[in-house]
Amino acid sequence: MSNKIIYQEVIPYVYLTIVPLIWAGNFIVGKVLIASLPPFCITAGRFFVGALILGLLFLYQKNKSGLNRELKLKILILGLSGVFAFNSLVYVGLKYTSAINATLINSFNPIVTIYFSWLYLKEKISIKQILGSLVAVVGIMTIESQGSWSVLYNLDFNIGDLIIFIDTFIWAIFTVLGKNVMSVLSPLETTTYSILAGLPFLFLAAGWEVSQSQISISWPVVSGILYLGVFATVLAFIWYYKGIQLVGVAKSANFYNLIPVYSFFLAVFFLHEQITIYHILGGVFVVLGILISSSKLKRAGSVNYKNIE
């Protein structure tokens, strides 16, 4: 087998198999960091590191696109939704729920994106997408209710689960709008501009958090921030798009479903969290719903899906 064949047929799948592992690690590291740092400080540190690296890559990119007023407004919305709000709320949610719950509920993202692409981009939605979304909702409700009908009846949900669930709608806005922006800008430009647009708001929020509490910085905390900035923000982005470049959008998108699988093992091994029957049952429904809807997911936003996570 020649080196060219290996590069085209093996390496892309190595990239795409590692990327969901990195993204699953984001929830594990975030769960650990939230015990030492407030959420906006975590997000600000993560994206500051990511901005430094992506900024250097951006400087070396040739044929940079110009920004008109409309693009600047869209990029501002991307920064507020995908960088400032979404990631900070992920860490807020992790303060009240387990990493397993968070990653499973986060798996609902593709389904929400399908409906937002239908509303905003006017893309058609099929019976398969409707059925898939309903199946995934059953999974989400199973997890949030902890397998108890009394929780559903009394609307007694874990606040962390609800925050992660609401957060999926914020990410859908970022994803669908990002697809629109990337019809003009490159993925690197879109991601870099979005981070730069969101960073000032993160610094303001992080500054307020620092003024309200004492923060102790240790080497484990620094290591966690570096992981989130270097791996979850930069390497995952580059490898994901390299996979798309070599094997196509459709095949690459399906690898996102590995995140809850990886998170199960990571949370049990590193955080000693317990997997219960409702985790397994809810996770099966979530993944099944995504697979049923996968044909639309390939069209609805695979190129820009999870740009920053």
- Give CA–CA dist 9/19, Å, rounded: 17
Give the model's confidence band at 292: pLDDT under 50 very low, under 70 low, under 90 confident, else very high: confident
Tokens 């979404």 sit on residue: 86
Lowest mean pLDDT: which of 9-23, 55-69, 221-235, 294-308? 294-308
Is the pLDDT at 303 greater than 70? The verdict is no
* Phi-psi group of 5: left, alpha or beta (phi > 0 → left; psi -120 to 50 → alpha; rest → beta): alpha
According to the model, what pLDDT value does residue 308 have? Answer: 39
Residue 2: exposure state from Cβ atoms within 10 A (0-12, 13-18, ≥19) = exposed
From the list 290, 268, 215, 233, the residue with the least C-alpha distance to 35 is 215
Lowest mean pLDDT: which of 113-117, 175-179, 194-198? 113-117
More confident position, 286 or 32: 32
More confident position, 257 or 106: 106
Lowest mean pLDDT: which of 57-66, 124-133, 230-239? 124-133
Amino acid letter for position 202: L
More confident position, 302 or 215: 215
More confident position, 57 or 264: 57
Mean pLDDT of 54-66: 80
More confident position, 69 or 301: 69
Residues in contact with 190: Cβ distance below 8 Å, sequence separation at least 6, in sequence order: 75, 78, 178, 181, 182, 304, 307
According to the model, what pLDDT value does residue 1 have? Answer: 54
Mean pLDDT of 195-215: 92
101 touches 160 (CB < 8 A): yes
Please, what sign has the CA dihedral across residues 222, 228, 233, 238?
A: positive
Mean pLDDT of 171-188: 81
Q: For the chain, what are the domain ranges?
A: 3-300
According to the model, what pLDDT value does residue 139 have? Answer: 76
Amino acid letter for position 119: L
pLDDT in tens, 245-289: 666 544 555 576 677 778 777 888 888 877 788 878 877 887 787
According to the model, what pLDDT value does residue 128 have? Answer: 74
Which tokens go with 193? 């501009």
According to the model, what pLDDT value does residue 105 have? Answer: 78
pLDDT in tens, 121-167: 666 667 776 777 678 777 767 776 767 766 655 655 688 988 988 98
According to the model, what pLDDT value does residue 283 have? Answer: 76
According to the model, what pLDDT value does residue 277 have? Answer: 84
Give the model's confidence band at 116: pLDDT under 50 very low, under 70 low, under 90 confident, else very high: confident
